[in-house]
Amino acid sequence: MNTVDFSQDFVAFACAKGVLRFGEFKTKAGRLSPYFFNAGLFNDGDSLSKLANFYADAILASKIQFDMLFGPAYKGIPLVAAIAMALAARGHNLPFAFNRKEAKDHGEGGTLIGAPLVGRVLIVDDVISAGTSVRESVEIIRAGGATPAGVAIAIDRQERGTGTLSAVQEVELSLGMPVIAVARLTDVIDYLAGQPALEQNLAAVRRYRETYGVT
């Protein structure tokens, strides 16, 4: 399966599940967006399994070198476990870890759960908005003596942040590591162009990209 295939298939899946919706939605930046992506709606076993397989497709297609996975609390916790299982099913059995928001002072203690942080660590999350979660993850990984290798996300909005770069581009530039996206906004636009039932949303999404998009 090539990149175009799994990206388009993922957009179709997200639309069918109601995770990717069209209309008018206010973003954290105060912009009126013609679409909304809510990964929290991948909320049953079947959809989480399919989501993890799409991540596995994107991660393996990227050829990125890494030794383990890390999922930041909270959305990254089910993601990292499911993605580790999807990769293991493809012959890549890798350790994973995640953090808790509050330190625990009994039992195993601390904020980290799972495998010890070693080698090159791939961070998995749903989206990158301001990049805060990624930067916190990078600090945790480095403090554990490991090296952040990159970030894998479900969708790249390809949208300017506070400056001329997108949140994804800012992370890549400031942290010096790649961001892998299962799909990008351009994939959403390509998908809409071939779907008569959804095509009425195409013009609004294109206008939004022309106004706020990055190349």
Q: How far is 5 from 171, CA to CA, in rounded Å?
A: 26
Q: Which residues does 117 contact at the CB level (< 8 Å), separation at least 6?
A: 68, 70, 97, 140, 141, 144, 145, 146
Query: Is residue 106 annotated as part of the catalytic site, yes or no?
Result: yes
Torsion of CA 146, 125, 169, 199, to 10 degrees: 160
- Tokens in use for 196? 């008569």
Residues 6+ apart with CB under 8 A from 168: 128, 153, 156, 157, 158, 179, 181
Task: Please say whether the dihedral angle defined by the alpha carbons of residues 39, 161, 3 and 138, taken in this order, is positive or negative.
Answer: negative
Give the active site residue among 28, 63, 101, 106: 106
Residue 163: which H helix or E strand, with range?
A: none
**Measured between alpha carbons, how far is 4 from 92 in angstroms, rounded to an integer?**
23
How far is it, in rounded angstroms, from Cα 101 to Cα 18? 29
Residues identified as active-site: 104, 106
